[in-house]
Amino acid sequence: MDEAVVAGATIGPRAYVSERAVVGPRTAVERSVVYEDARIGTRCRVFDSIIDAGVTVPDGAVVESKIVSNTRPERGDR
């Protein structure tokens, strides 16, 4: 699959959902970037945020003004 799956979600304004990302029903994504292979659950709100590749956002989550990533900081980056 090379397309984003956006089933019954509201996308925009100023939102980008990458290929192979999945956005669940009744979810709103605004002023945000969702990278490939990310999964956003049902009834979520994502505003002013970056959802990194491969991240899963659970059902009902509210993500505002955050960068959500699976990577850990390097030892000197804390």
Quickly state the pLDDT bin for 3 (edges 50, 70, 90).
low
Residue predicted with more confidence, 77 or 60:
60
Model confidence over 17-47: pLDDT tens digits? 998 999 999 999 999 999 999 999 999 999 9
Task: Domains for the chain: give ranges and CATH numbers.
Answer: 5-69 (2.160.10.10)
Which tokens belong to 53? 């590749």
pTM across the whole model: 0.85
Beta strands in 1-78 (DSSP E): 5-6, 10-11, 16-17, 22-23, 28-30, 33-34, 39-40, 45-47, 50-51, 56-57, 62-64, 67-68
Q: Report how far residue 48's alpha carbon sits from residue 6's, in angstroms, rounded to the nearest whole number.
A: 18
